[in-house]
Amino acid sequence: IPGQKVVLITGCSSGIGLRIAVMLAKDEQKRYHVIATMRDLKRKDKLVEAAGDAYGKTLSLAVLDVCSDESVKQCIDGIKDRHVDILINNAGIGLVGPLESIPIEEMKKVFETNFFGVIRMIKEVMPDMKKRRGGHIIVVSSVMGLQGVVFNDVYAASKFAMEGFCESLAVQLLNLSMIEPGPVHTEFEAKMIQDVRQKEYPGADPDTIHYFKNVYLPSSVDIFEVLGQTPDDIARCTKKVIE
């Protein structure tokens, strides 16, 4: 539809990405065409159900694994003129535990997803955005991108790295915003809590991961700290940011 903005969102099979996709696709003024992506379409049912009538109209699905160069390229190639107005980098994974017990390979996976995954996406959409001198890139970071938290060393580092990358990139690509949620009730959070509880790390307080301190860093990038705890709180904030 003319005038509609193409919004590509990563990691829409659950949690925050799913709710952002649904909220934008159900926009009353139909301002967005949402390309909701996920790495495995077998996980699409929750999204399709939540999208209701919007599915097939203002919301379409595509396969995308942010860890694969090929998958990212294929997905963007599949979009008309490779034209994305708004890219929402939401896909991410967590990793909790004492450093000694975590294999390096698992740590690399966190960086591959949370850091290089975002870079891969931005690299693919940036040429078109630069050419058109438009576009908006949103990155779902975390308060852990600003403040380290015990047993989240590598996850926090991946988000810190992305914050640095985005701050530098914002100099070239002016329209870049970061969303920094505190704890949000999603599969991600449930897994973190379960990991801490199940492994019974000596000296660990299971509620440790809730000790978030909200900090504000002056920055050249717009930073939106989100204090809500439901995926809808984050989706509402994201919608405000792009409006």
Check binding of 14 to ligand NDP (CB under 6 A).
Answer: yes
Q: Kindly tell me which of 171 and 190 has the beta carbon lying closer to ligand NDP.
A: 190
In the range 92-121, which residues lie near ligand NDP by CB under 6 A? 92-93, 113, 117
103 backbone dihedrals φ, ψ, rounded to 5°: -65, 145
Check binding of 90 to ligand NDP (CB under 6 A).
Answer: yes
Check binding of 177 to ligand NDP (CB under 6 A).
Answer: no
d(CA 183, CA 92): 14
DSSP 62: E
Closest CA to 139 of 100, 167, 105, 98: 167
Check binding of 183 to ligand NDP (CB under 6 A).
Answer: yes
Q: Is 55 a catalytic residue?
A: no
186, 201, 225, 233: which one binds ligand NDP (CB under 6 A): 186
Residue of 155, 201, 211, 216 marked active site: 155
Check binding of 11 to ligand NDP (CB under 6 A).
Answer: yes
Q: Kindly tell me which of 133 and 213 has the beta carbon lying closer to ligand NDP.
A: 213
Check binding of 135 to ligand NDP (CB under 6 A).
Answer: no
* Residue 216 Cα distances to 97, 146, 226, angstroms: 26, 8, 11
- E strand segments, the chain: 5-9, 32-38, 59-63, 86-89, 136-140, 176-181, 222-226
Binding residues: 11-39, 65, 142, 159
Give me the half-sphere count of Cα atoms (radius 13 Å) on the Cβ side of residue 140.
28
Catalytic residue annotation: 155
